[in-house]
Amino acid sequence: MKIDKEELLSEAKEYYGRGGISDQSYFFAEECIDLGQEWLDTYKSNYWVLIRQSQREMKKGMRNYLKERVNYQKYNGYTFLPTFVWVWIANTIISWVVKKIIVYIIKKYSIK
């Protein structure tokens, strides 16, 4: 199962393209999309396990996978935001990316 990274990145550019931390947000979203693909690849040999999950289970699994592997500090290095603010912003980006990937999977593969 391959997600269309360019489609999701164009949506991320549109959604996060404004504001003082738009570059960090965009690149953070890009890393999250890559990790989302990595998460999908963990089901490569048994997609039926993924497809049988509810949307809530998929979101929870992917969100946890991303939060464990993403490097928060890498993208906050050039801003003057306090760490807790950046982590809050990063978590909203993670949630946005997870939602977009799940919706993409549902549309593309007609999972109900």
Among the ranges given (4-8, 90-94, 96-100), the one the predictor scored with the smallest mean pLDDT: 4-8
Say which residues have a Cβ less than 8 Å from residue 52's Cβ, sequence separation at least 6. Answer: none
Give the span between the Cα atoms of 94 and 86, in whole angstroms: 12
pTM of the predicted model as reported, rounded to 2 decimal places: 0.84
Residue written as token pair 């003057």: 80
| 75 — pLDDT class (breaks 50, 70, 90) | confident
Give the span between the Cα atoms of 21 and 38, in whole angstroms: 26
